[in-house]
Amino acid sequence: MKYKLPKIAVFMGGNSREREVSLKSGQAVIHTLQNLGYPVQKYDIQNNLVPFAKYPKKLWPDVVFLALHGGAGENGQVQKELEKLSIPYTGSNSNTCQKAIHKSIAKKYFQKSNLHTPKSLLLSSYWPKKIVLKLVQKELKYPLILKPPQEGSSIGLHIAQNSSEFKQALQHLSQLCNQILVEEYIQGKEFTVAILENQPLPAIEIQTPNKLFDYTAKYTPNTTNYLIHPPSKLTKQLQNAALLAHKSLKCRHFSRVDLIWNYQKIYVLELNTLPGLTQTSLLPKACAAAGISFPQLCTKMISLALQEHKRQKKSA
């Protein structure tokens, strides 16, 4: 008897600043799943977080494949709605996503697990600039990194070498978000380590000619070099730190952790619960280095979502 493939709904797009990246991720997933024979329905998620909820249940998908990045798709809102409907979906649950999306909150969980993180301050965009400057000068040292605490894809990322540059970055970010995360800049080599099924994948070193690994460096082809690091003591330390960060937030199935090594310590920068799935994305690159093709990655994500749903039904 021929195995019937599950019906897949791919959620993509959305209203976040990462919309364009999400659309590319979604198209890559749809193309791959259709070639594998899966029945696939595309949903560009806007204000209605679960569009098929209004349809009869017999028309609902068996699994929702989340190709969303940022906003409601990654902060736990979409996940929470799917949990209410008892629909399997790819990636971490709503509680984990809610913690991971906020870099300042995630940082506290990393620190509880004895992971190193850059010294930082969380500022309000509404605080008087004079008070902000005094606080920063008292607590931190230049150069500094400024970024929105709940954006991905390095959107709004700035580096300030002095107070003048800090004021300019502060002015720009105050128009972008209500809170601003300020961190001491760690000079060193930047890495990313993806986790799949509680196993760290090969570490990737990120080499960019830009000042920072920002949005342009991430999504402009041939701008950045990605080096797969061979097994070594450092690689193992990076993988261990990434896996610990993954577990500290109780992530499930997969994630991607950004780290920096200052030649003495490894610092965890942030964790992404829904990594990109575009041609330049790092999770597919790490999988390829581990001998896992993109079609295998997509089918693994679906399989893990279904297995998780079965476990939850048995324990209910």
DSSP result, 260-277? EE-SS-EEEEEEESS---
Residues 85, 19 share a domain: yes
Measure the CA–CA gap between 59 and 7, rounded to whole angstroms.
9
φ, ψ for residue 75, nearest 5 deg: -95, 5
The reported pLDDT for the residue numbered 88 is 98
Residues 200, 109 share a domain: yes
The whole domain housing 164 covers: 120-184
The reported pLDDT for the residue numbered 215 is 45
Spell out the SS3 assignment of 123-177: EECCCCHHHHHHHHHHHCCCCEEEECCCCCCCCCCEEECCHHHHHHHHHHHHCCC
Q: Which residues participate in catalysis according to the annotation?
A: 18, 153, 219, 256, 258, 270, 272, 276
* Low pLDDT (below 50) residues in the chain: 1, 153, 213-215, 217-219
Q: Which helix (H) or strand (E) holds 227?
A: strand 225-228
Residues 282, 199 share a domain: yes
The reported pLDDT for the residue numbered 138 is 94
Q: Residues 202, 228: contact at Cβ < 8 Å?
A: yes
Nearest to 273 by CA among 133, 85, 74: 74
The reported pLDDT for the residue numbered 12 is 97
The reported pLDDT for the residue numbered 178 is 87
The domain that holds 32 is classified in CATH as 3.40.50.20
The reported pLDDT for the residue numbered 78 is 97
pTM of the prediction?
A: 0.91
114: left (phi over 0), alpha (psi -120 to 50) or beta: left
Condensed to tens digits (0 to 9), the pLDDT of residues 164-195 reads 999 999 988 988 788 999 999 999 999 999 99
The domain that holds 133 is classified in CATH as 3.30.1490.20
Residues 145, 132 share a domain: yes
| Residue 315 lies inside a defined structural domain of this protein | no
Nearest to 203 by CA among 275, 297, 283, 278: 283
Measure the CA–CA gap between 110 and 233, rounded to whole angstroms.
21
Residues 221, 105 share a domain: yes
**Which residues make beta-bridge pairs with 272?**
256
Q: Which helix (H) or strand (E) holds 23?
A: helix 19-35
